[in-house]
Amino acid sequence: MASCAHFTINLAPLCFFLEHGVMILKGIVMFGWLARLFKGLVGFWGKLPDSTKEKIINAIVETFESLFREYFRSKKKDQEAASE
């Protein structure tokens, strides 16, 4: 509380706003950074030849396919072991 000879001011709401305002500003800065990163990646992707894009996509798909295949195999083994 700040006070003067004539009135008293409760600064708690102002402090609350300032703390959350700073958090909001940090979020906006983070979002701007992510937006610039995404824009740069899209620009980079646009400059790649189609053959390179296809190779990258195939590598990603194959990687995730093998990861998911192994995950579901292990889940199936766990379920079979639990049911025995």
Domain boundaries, the chain: 1-47, 49-84
Contact 53, 45 (CB under 8 A): yes
Closest by Cα among 64, 39, 35, 41 to 53: 41
Give the Cα separation of 59 and 5 in Å (integer): 73
Tell me the per-residue pLDDT of 53-73, one tens digit each, with 9 for 90 and over.
999 999 999 999 989 999 999
Percent of the residues in the chain that have a pLDDT greater than 90, as a whole number: 37
Q: What distance in Å separates the CA atoms of residue 1 and residue 10, rounded to the nearest whole number? A: 5
Question: Which stretch of DSSP H or E encloses residue 2?
Answer: strand 2-3
The pLDDT value recorded for residue 49 is 95
Rounded to two decimals, what is the model's pTM? Answer: 0.50
Place of tokens 């192994």: 70
